[in-house]
Amino acid sequence: MKFHFAWAAALLLTASCAKQDLSPATPAATATSTADVSSAGFPEGFNTGTKTAYTTGSVTLGSGSWTLNDALLGNTTADRKTGAQSVRVRNVGSLTMNFNATTGAGVVTVQHAVYGTDAASQWELWVSQNSGSSYAKVGSTITSSSTALSTASFTVNLSGNVRLQIRKTSGGTNRINFDNVTVEQYSGTTPPPPPPVAGDNQHLTMGNPSGAAADVSMPTNYLLNKPQYALSYHRDRGIPNWVSWHLDTSWRGSAARQDDFRADNTLPAGWYQVQATSYSGSGFDRGHNCPSADRTNTVANNSATFLMTNMIPQSPNNNQITWAALENYSRTLMDQGNELYIIMGAYGRGGTGSAGYFETIDQGRIQVPARVWKVLVVLPVGSTDVSRVSAATRIIAIDTPNQQGLTSNWGQYRTSVDAIEAATGLDLLSALPASVQQVVEAQVDNGPTN
């Protein structure tokens, strides 16, 4: 029996600017020069220009002029960087754009790490919409504690003239390196998620399985519609109900695995944010839903897969053996000229990891699922994808126990979409015509597994 959820329109969450700083900007930051993000040299890698002293001063970089306060461009072996140099900031120093991004800012990412052997420090991203006269904080305060560059992501979603300022807030002589600032253009409107008949390259093309919406009155079915994937989040369980994404060769490239597990600061204000350390000592992996290896075309897209809203407590054997084998196989199908629509989720309560059986972790704030499932729709690369699904389309559905002792033979866990729907109450592949759903959702795949 399939339960149908009505489609609800949803809006992406815009990051709140909780604090206002009405103090005057530095003189250099009041400059009126402008630059279009699309041609201003972003991502800014800080590899041009020279500034070797901490004294406040401006430097011309690839994207434009920036003011560095208690900061310099470092190029030593102790500076964490991907190119020749990066910014090094001490005390309560800052780096500030002296120009406006005239096409606004959507998602902004910043890579950061501690300098040398320094201790951890905190910093924040601030944004101005009045050419530097005042600034507002965006997102959470970030802690830099690693000697390897990590990526912090901020959902700004502001149109018009925008300029950025990065502030070290913890004071003291411990230093932070900043590198590779990226700015996504923002159109000035936040589109709703695609409707059930959406076209290609949309993560909800095959439907919204639970009618999730970005509505704070729906805390157990809250939609996070990200550029890299879409998901329904369950605030009270601290894990997603499901994650849906599209996979084709355009999503694959040479970007390295970022390993920058972090809280998702786009959740509504007041909601508990699962932290990178929330799974520590639990015996469960931070199990990706949308895999890191499915998003390697850019650093920012790979980094987005490490948000904790994309994770579930997953048995190490389940994650590293069974699930890894299926993920590798799905990318093999992609390399054979296919595109895939993938939906993954979990249900039930209680799983067995390397430290034994648990129903919750993180002081009860994260529920450990009993079962982990996935559905893959495999299509030859083309267009009008919904209309191309037929009784002959290969659809792989698996449902695995969240426990140790599993093998790489994921094929033994194959089931039907109908069976997963009965177990979860979801309406998977709801964008397909009812007559097609009736046929394809009843089938159990018997194709090759490697």
Whether 127 and 17 have beta carbons less than 8 Å apart is answered as yes
> How many helices and strands, by DSSP H and E, does the chain display?
6, 25
Helix, strand, or coil (residue 138) = strand
Which residues, listed in sequence order, are joined to residue 358 by a DSSP beta bridge? 351
Helices assigned H by DSSP within 270-337: 299-304, 316-317, 324-335
Concatenated DSSP letters for 158-196?
Answer: E-SSBEEEEEE-S-SS--EEEEEEEE----SS-PPPPPT
Using DSSP's 3-state secondary structure scheme, residue 112 falls into strand
* CA distance linking residue 375 with residue 394, whole number of Å: 11
Rg (CA), the chain: 23
CA distance 169 to 363: 30
Of the listed 112, 203, 234, 288, which one is catalytic? 288
Helix (H) or strand (E) holding 144, with range, is strand 135-144
Chain CA centroid to CA 18, Å: 22
**Kind of pairing, strands 100-101 and 34-35?**
parallel
Q: CA 247 to CA 251: how far, in whole Å? A: 6
288 annotated active-site: yes
CB 381 within 8 A of CB 337: yes
Catalytic center residues: 288
